[in-house]
Amino acid sequence: MLKRLVPDEFVQSIYEIDFRELQRRGVKAVIVDLDNTLVESTRPQATPELVSWLDQLRGMGFKVMIVSNNKRTRVSRFATPLRVPFIHRARKPLSAAFKKAMGRLEVTAADSVMIGDQIFTDVLGGNTLGLHTILVVPVSDAEGIFTKINRLMERMILRWMKQRGLLGWEEQK
């Protein structure tokens, strides 16, 4: 069970991900969380840097979809102007939204990557289905009470993993 909580990669931000390497490995689709992964949960629109990042991914041939536990209004207002398909109220880490995303993108778990800022939703959900998972440092400290509780548990899990040599990278949270 704990192996499902270990991401394949850990980076400071989405901008540090080596998409050329992922492409060489056969990754065709990027499933990504929204709040505190792409932008702060309080930011209604994409930053120019994020727009450029999305354009670069699409230019490389990647299919991109946002999968968020947030409400339809929040996710659609963010994703629609970017022409990025999305799934709202995903109920991550449950598998249904990930399967739906892969179906809509016409890809398999083997050629997909899940990028997110939370172990118990993004990483666990992606790993359960065999996606390559990338954990990013949250872009903001502004979070709801349930996410703050999750963050405390994440720190304990990461400490435990580090002590047992399960992390292939240096934990920076």
pLDDT tens, residue by residue, 9-44: 989 999 999 999 999 999 999 999 999 999 998 999
Q: What is the C-alpha separation between 54 and 78, in angstroms, rounded? A: 13
Please tell me the least confidently modeled range out of 64-68, 93-97, 126-130, 148-152: 148-152
Q: Which of 166, 160, 161, 141 is nearest to 151 (CA)?
A: 141
Cβ neighbours of residue 46 under 8 Å, at least 6 residues apart? 38, 39, 54, 78, 81, 82
**Which segments of 11-144 does DSSP mark as H helices, in order?**
19-24, 48-59, 72-79, 96-105, 124-129
* Contact call for residues 68 and 79 (beta carbons, < 8 A): no
Please check whether residue 86 lies inside any domain of the structure: yes
Q: How many domains does the chain have?
A: 1
At 172, the pLDDT band (50, 70, 90 cuts) reads very low
Residue 13 maps to which CATH number? 3.40.50.1000
pLDDT in tens, 71-126: 999 999 999 999 999 999 999 999 999 999 999 999 999 999 999 999 989 999 99
Q: What is the C-alpha separation between 153 and 61, in angstroms, rounded? A: 37
Q: Omega before 81 cis (within 30°)? A: no
Please check whether residue 37 lies inside any domain of the structure: yes
Please check whether residue 103 lies inside any domain of the structure: yes
Please check whether residue 16 lies inside any domain of the structure: yes
pLDDT, position 143: 65
What length is written for the chain?
Answer: 173
Please check whether residue 170 lies inside any domain of the structure: no
Whole domain around residue 74: which residue ranges? 2-163
- Label each residue of 22-35 as H, E or C: HHHCCCCEEEECCE
- The answer on pLDDT for 173 being more than 80 is no
Please check whether residue 168 lies inside any domain of the structure: no
Please check whether residue 49 lies inside any domain of the structure: yes
Coarse DSSP helix, strand, coil percentages of the chain, rounded to the nearest 5 percent: 45, 15, 40
